[in-house]
Amino acid sequence: MIRAVVIIHDQATLQQTTATLHSMCTQVEVTEVCDSIRTGIAAINARQPDMVILEIQLADGSGFDLLNHFGKPDFKLIILSTYMEYAVKAIKYNATDFLVKPFEAEELVMAVNKAAEQISYEEKLQFRHLEERMKSLGKVDKITLKTSDQLYIVNLADIIYLEAYGNYTTFYLENDRKILVVKPLRDFEESLVDRGFFRIHKSYVINVNKMSHFDKKDGGFVIMSNRSEIPVASRKRDMLFEIFNEIG
């Protein structure tokens, strides 16, 4: 499933959007619905969505102000507006699509399908990179982590998994150690996926060499070497099973 946050102020547009997603986009799970910059930022931080459907005219300002909070968004973006002149600005925010209100249900479906294809393509690329690096899992490598008042040099082999919350990332290490870094997970993902790590969920990147086993309960969890249960996004399961087979 593609996890989506819908941020729309206009009630008619909101009703049309959610109804279309429910009836015609069965691959999408709407995890939260909001109508303002404040609630939208909180929802994105908490839900870590794959996709955001965002209206420009919100209850407390512009949707672009919301996007500025995230810098380089870690989600696919579909923008809605009554005004066509915002389309050029939407491109600058790397929006997957821009829909002019009022729009037809089929237009929204096409935009969602385009975002889904982009998500699938990027995840396949990530998996290919991981496959290419599987042979070097045992290689000693290091990463520098900077907290508010400390600088750590950490062996990658000591990292069990990373957990995201908004613009913060927690590194869970061997011997029950934790390091909280004031950087979003996406800032680490690109360098780590080529070094034996896999983004198994929007909120988690795991060290595949620290996996213990897979538990099918409640949709699926990977049990890590420290006995932590990490949820597996449904569309990542097949990739995960291939990784288990590669390691085996």
Share of the chain above pLDDT 70, in %: 94
Which has more confidence, 244 or 180? 180
Residue 248 has pLDDT above 60, yes or no: no
50-86 tens-digit pLDDT: 999 999 999 999 999 999 998 778 899 999 999 999 9
Give which of 104, 113, 84 is closest to 16, Cα–Cα.
Answer: 104
Report the pLDDT value the prediction gives residue 134, as an integer from 0 to 100: 57
Contact 204, 162 (CB under 8 A): yes
End-to-end CA separation in angstroms for the chain: 28
Could you tell me if 175 and 62 lie in one domain? no
205-220 tens-digit pLDDT: 999 999 988 888 777 8
- Count H helices, E strands: the chain? 7, 17
Report the pLDDT value the prediction gives residue 131, as an integer from 0 to 100: 64
Q: How many Cβ atoms from other residues are within 10 Å of residue 55's Cβ?
A: 24
Could you tell me if 107 and 208 lie in one domain? no
Could you tell me if 53 and 161 lie in one domain? no
The two three-digit tokens of residue 59, written as one number: 């209850």
Q: Which helix (H) or strand (E) holds 76?
A: strand 76-81
| CATH code for position 91 | 3.40.50.2300
Report the pLDDT value the prediction gives residue 98, as an integer from 0 to 100: 97
Give the mean pLDDT of 88-95. 93
Last residue of a domain, one of 102, 130, 158: 130
Give the mean pLDDT of 189-203. 86
Place 191 in a pLDDT band, splitting at 50, 70 and 90: confident
21-54 tens-digit pLDDT: 999 999 999 999 999 999 999 999 999 899 999 9
Give which of 16, 52, 10, 17 is closest to 31, Cα–Cα.
Answer: 52
Could you tell me if 76 and 142 lie in one domain? no
Last residue of a domain, one of 105, 130, 155: 130
Distance CA 86, CA 89 (A): 5
Q: How many domains does the chain have?
A: 2
Give which of 115, 63, 70 is closest to 89, Cα–Cα.
Answer: 63
Could you tell me if 10 and 124 lie in one domain? yes
The side-by-side arrangement of strands in the sheet containing 168-173 is 177-181, 168-173, 159-165, 204-207, 197-201
Residue 193 has pLDDT above 90, yes or no: no
Residue type at 141 in one-letter notation: D
Examine residue 49 and say whether the peptide bond preceding it is cis (omega within 30 degrees of 0): no
**pTM for the predicted model, two decimal places:** 0.62
Report the pLDDT value the prediction gives residue 158, as an integer from 0 to 100: 95
Q: Which helix (H) or strand (E) holds 15?
A: helix 11-24
Distance CA 92, CA 208 (A): 35
Could you tell me if 99 and 38 lie in one domain? yes
Could you tell me if 117 and 9 lie in one domain? yes
Could you tell me if 172 and 189 lie in one domain? yes
Could you tell me if 100 and 211 lie in one domain? no
Last residue of a domain, one of 130, 146, 163: 130
Report the pLDDT value the prediction gives residue 217, as an integer from 0 to 100: 79
The two three-digit tokens of residue 38, written as one number: 């404040």
| CATH code for position 207 | 2.40.50.1020
Could you tell me if 89 and 141 lie in one domain? no
Give which of 157, 131, 126 is closest to 143, Cα–Cα.
Answer: 157
Q: Is 101 exposed, middle or buried (0-12, 13-18, 19+ CB in 10 A)?
A: middle
Could you tell me if 9 and 116 lie in one domain? yes
Report the pLDDT value the prediction gives residue 94, as an integer from 0 to 100: 93
Strand 197-201 and strand 204-207: the pairing is antiparallel
Find the domain containing 234 and state its range: 137-247
126-181 tens-digit pLDDT: 777 766 665 555 455 889 999 988 999 999 999 999 999 888 999 999 999 999 99
Which SS3 state, helix, strand or coil, does residue 181 take?
strand
